[in-house]
Structure 1
Amino acid sequence: MTITKQLLIGGKDVPALSGRTTKDFNPYSGEVYATVAAAGPEDVKRAVDAADAAFEEWAALSPFARRAIFLRSADLLETRGEQVGHLMAQESGGTRPWAHFNVALAANILREVAAATTAPRGEVLSAEAEGVLGLAIREPLGVVAAFAPWNAPLILGVRAVAAPLAAGNTVVAKASEDAPIACGLLVADVLREAGLPDGVLNVITNDPAEAAQTAEALIADERVRAVNFTGSTTVGRKIGEQAGRLLKPAVLELGGKNSVIVLDDADLEHAVDAACFSAFMNAGQICMSADRILVHESLAAEFTRRFTAKAASLQAGDPSRPDTVIGPLISRHAAQRVAGLVHDAVGKGAKVLLGGTADGALYPATVLAEVPEDADLYREESFGPVCVIEAFGTDQRAIDRANDTENGLACGIITENATHGLVVARRIRSGVVHINDQSVADEPQAPFGGVKASGYGRFGGRWGIEAFSSARWVTLATQRAHYPF
């Protein structure tokens, strides 16, 4: 039976004014899973109307009251593990372990922003004049446009709205066309049930062919004061350009071309397990996934043998099966894109050690070696279960290869020598680096984000609150000043 979902505007589930709908497909079966409302510009305006109307009262609400809503929503979300597992398998091809990880981390993001709402905010400043108290007070911005992606739908759906809401803003969230329920409507349902007032969070869904014009209409509304986007670098550039022209601050978390570096003092078994997780979790559809495994030449042969054998054992197929590790990519088109990158690399001299053939939206674990610099895969993010193994002889060579990308999101360095690892880590140009761990890790209290073409701004803890608030200078004179005339 096909599910039907409406827009969420002003606390009510409403159809698009045009009455139009769009289809939400199951990537594994190719069948229609749900039908959702297809918003037009007039619906975007309605959603911003509702958010703008709700802003003053929400911003004035006690931080302790806001905190209680976020804490209740975290508890409620944790009760929905089975629902999320089914939803993610059907809507985005996520496996059960990935779905349950989404639930756990998303709940912790809500708890972290709950804590941040009542944390000290602002500073007491030194003042030049006698008898003056200076304050830097952080205040909400207004209506925030939030873009929620499909690949980690619950984590990133919650992250799209949690910090802006905690800072006292209201939000209009544009859910991904590929997972509109999991990354948008479900998140809103949980927050509504937890007591979020009407209009504070509004969710719009749209036809894939109208994604660009929907985003443009949302950002262009003069009442939208900031933008929060997680997605590809290509789309992020366009979002950032429009926000910049309109002088609206934007937090952009974009793509990665990430490496795991296995140093000569690494534990080989740990290195294989860590790199395999980094490359193939969620079929490589994570912004922090490892595209490159850089291995010291003294370990390279044995690492490659063990890594390829482990990757070959990973079951690919139906995401609803408990033994499936690699589910489908988000669409057949996505699988064909990955296949094209591999085909191009092989045509230019790369060697396939494992995998390399698409089956519908399924793409098995694939390992390549000797990928030349003129191959598209050398530069482009694979965003699929494909990784390249490359040997290096010196730390400098590994650092150079890890940094040879326009992106700079995450890196993992596997070593048993923390000092050695830290020396290498300090020279990696990325927003996140993990020593003696792989590249895919996220904790809600830590500053998360990239450098270079991986975006700017930070999520997590106080950094998220600061990203969606502004510092206002306020002075209080306790005695009258002397003026020269």
Structure 2
Amino acid sequence: MFTTNFSRIYIDGEWRKGKSEKTVKNVNPLNGEELVTIQSADKEDLNEAYEAAARAQKEWQNELPQKKQEVLEKAIAVMEENKALIVDWLVKEAGSTIVKAEVEFQASLDITKESVRFPYKMEGKIFPSQIPGKENRVYRNPLGVIGIISPWNFPLHLAIRSIAPAIATGNGVVIKPATDTPVTGGLIFASIFEAAGLPKGLLNVVVGRGSEIGDDIVTHPIPRLISFTGSTEVGKHIGELAGGSLKKTALELGGNNAMVVLDDADIDQAVESALFGKFYHQGQICMALNRILVHRDIQEQFTDRFLELARKLTYGDPGDENTAVGPLINNKQVERILEDVEESVQRGAEIRLGGQADGNVLEPTVLTGVTNEMPIAVNEIFGPVACIIPFDSEEDAIKMVNDYSFGLSGSVHTSNIERGASFAHKIHTGMIHVNDQSVNDEPHVPFGGEKDSGLGRFNGEWVLEEFTTLKWLSVQHTPRDYGPFINKLK
């Protein structure tokens, strides 16, 4: 049965109140309407969740691969049956436009379908040995229990991309969703997998504030890997905590992603790419374009066309099918972005479009006259503000892109594909796209960043390296001759 009452946390197969005295009030970012209030989890709840996951995982790791597949396939069916409800929650809880919610739902399905293959990917290898009569075997095993900290911007997809592979490879899971999106980032998966028949205790959802259980979800002795998607600042802190216990981490962090428009680019194609890469989901995407670098020879033509189309972007209620840009997740984000805009204007930038906010809805905003050193270029915007920056040569553009410590995604536009590929090779980033924009994610290709943008890779066979461990087991088939060491004793 698919549960729709999300006022409780989920531990060891039971929906129950958290033991903390604090609550998490979940509100609609558009209008502040209360969606649900949840009694928070405390450290005792967290401990019980991890212990439940550890108990259940011991049996689950030995379950037949087809049984694991059966649960994942049922989870897919449950998601499809409840698509309308899930999309509605993404709209009202995460401020997703209907288009974005539909795309996120499909991406979540796709990554779960990709994970259905993983139970049969837990394969080993046999290697020869330098020792006579010995055989070397290497086994791929689950890590045990994985702690997942999910973000608020793409909560459904960025949670399930860790949950599904973790379960498929025989691990137990404890999820702590962002307090802005406790349902779509966590509790909804308790309903999905409960209805799919996942054994009790294998998946647990603790809703609580970072100040109360944030460090403990990392430092608790049970989890062997922490999967986190979020800011670089928090990711570094998690890395430090995990390192102290020699835990693995899979960290997908912030980005200062750039699109570079070379002088031979198709301007209309580049403009359309830039509009999507910048304003999709209000720019609240780790892969979103932070800077648009345009060759000075075509800057004016590009800017005019970009402004022409940006003026047509509708903004406001994400529940309206015609809305392209919805609300930011909370007012702190609005204030932070407007501060960067104001300071950049004081340093010479010009607002060519937008620049005003109504509640949490920030108008699509375009700045020109921006330099690579202004706050709106240096800081990760994470909102619907585009800054257009000129450059004079490929070498200048490469330096400008690589100047900062981030390296998540990026793009380059040119009419010469090989020129674009050559340029892309010189950018220090985990992902980059020729004649496209920076927001790309496919379930079967490696996703992740370099430098301050994170550690590890999600998706496809690459996530197996994150969520599993290898064991070397050797078998001595014939008596081994230990040579002089033993001969002296005879």
TM-score band (shorter)?
over 0.9
The 10-residue stretch of structure 1 (75-84 or 280-289) with the greater mean CA deviation from structure 2: 75-84
Matched residue, 1:304: 303
Structure 1 residues 339 and 394, CA gap change in structure 2 (3 angstroms): same
Residue type of the alignment partner of 1:267: D
Distance in 1 (alpha carbons) for counterparts of 2:6 and 2:201: 21
* Residue 477 of structure 1: how far off its partner (Å): 2.1
CA distance in 2, matches of 1:231, 1:223: 22
Q: Which residue of 2 aligns with 1:283?
A: 282
Q: Deviations over 1:12-38 (max 9, x none)?
A: 111113465321011100121111221
State whether residues 227 and 248 of structure 1, in contact with CA within 8 Å, keep that contact through their aligned partners in structure 2: yes
| Aligned residue number for residue 25 of structure 2 | 23
Shift of 1:379: 1.4
Q: More displaced, 188-197 or 6-15? A: 188-197
Read off the aligned partner of 1:464 and give its amino acid letter: V
Gaps of 5+ in 1: none
Give the conservation status (yes or no) of the 8 Å contact 1:85–1:95. Answer: no
Task: Give the letter aligned to residue 156 of structure 1.
Answer: L
Q: State which drifts further: 32-41 or 77-86.
A: 77-86
What residue is the counterpart of 1:61 in the other structure?
63
Aligned equivalent of 2:44: 42
Q: Is the 8 A contact 1:399 1:427 kept in 2?
A: yes
Matched to 2:93, the amino acid is: E
* Offset at residue 116 of structure 1 (A): 2.2
| Mapping for residues 78-89 of structure 1, pairs under 5 Å | 78-89=80-91
Give the AA of the match of 1:99. Answer: A
- Find the aligned partners of 1:374 and 1:20 in 2 and give their Cα distance: 42
* Equivalences for residues 44-443 of structure 1 within 5 A: 44-119=46-121, 121-206=123-208, 210-443=209-442
Q: 1:168-223 CA deviation, whole Å, 9 max, x = no partner?
A: 110100011000001111122112212211111100101xxx31331211222111
Contact kept, 8 Å, 2:9 with 2:15, in 1: the verdict is yes
Displacement, 1:431?
0.4
CA 1:390–1:372: 2 relative to 1, 3 Å: closer
CA distance in 2, matches of 1:41, 1:101: 36
Q: Distance between the aligned counterparts of 1:471 and 1:4, measured in 2?
A: 38
Over 3 Å counting, the alpha-carbon distance change for 1:314 and 1:393 in structure 2 is: same
Q: Is the 8 A contact 2:87 2:101 kept in 1?
A: yes
- Report deviation, 1:78: 2.5
> What is the DSSP-based 3-state SS (H/G/I as helix, E as strand, rest coil) of the residue aligned with 2:140?
strand
One-letter amino acid of the structure 1 residue matched with residue 306 of structure 2: F
Residue 254 of structure 1 contacts residue 287 of structure 1 at CA under 8 Å; is this kept in 2?
Answer: yes
- Per the alignment, do residues 301 and 72 of structure 1 end up closer, same or farther by CA in structure 2, a change over 3 Å counting? same
Question: Equivalent pairs: percent with the same residue?
Answer: 37
How far does the alpha carbon of each residue in 1:106-140 deviate from its partner, in whole angstroms, 9 at most, with x for none?
00100111112212633322311122221221111
Query: Aligned letter for 2:404?
Result: T
Q: CA deviation at 1:471?
A: 1.1
Structure 1 position 55, deviation (Å): 1.2
Deviation track 1:289-314 (CA, whole Å, cap 9, x = no partner) reads: 00111122232111110111111111
Helix, strand or coil at the partner of 1:387: strand
Residue 67 of structure 1 contacts residue 118 of structure 1 at CA under 8 Å; is this kept in 2? no
RMSD of equivalent CA atoms? 1.5
TM-score computed with the length of structure 1 as normaliser: 0.96
Report the counterpart of residue 470 of structure 2 in structure 1: 471
Amino acid at match of 1:463: W
- Confirm or deny: 8 A CA contact 2:6 2:187 kept in the other structure: no
User: CA separation in 1, counterparts of 2:476 and 2:77?
Assistant: 46
The more displaced of 278-287 and 405-414 is: 405-414
8 Å CA contact retained: 2:457, 2:463: yes
By how many angstroms is 1:4 displaced? 4.8
In structure 2, give the amino acid aligned to 1:12: E
* TM-fit CA distance, 1:348: 1.2
Question: 1:436 & 1:116 partners in 2: Cα distance?
Answer: 32
Kindly indicate whether the alpha-carbon contact (under 8 Å) linking 2:6 and 2:183 is maintained by their aligned counterparts in 1. Answer: no
Q: 1:427 is aligned with what amino acid? A: K
1:331-378: per-residue Cα shift (whole Å, max 9, x none)? 111111111110111111111121111221011111112223443222
| Counterpart-to-counterpart distance in 2, 1:20 and 1:267 | 55
**Residue 462 in structure 1 maps to residue 464 in structure 2:** no
Query: Is the 8 Å Cα contact of residues 10 and 16 (structure 2) preserved in structure 1?
Result: yes
Whole-Å separation in 2 of the counterparts to 1:289 and 1:406: 16
Aligned-partner Cα distance in 1 for 2:314–2:450: 34
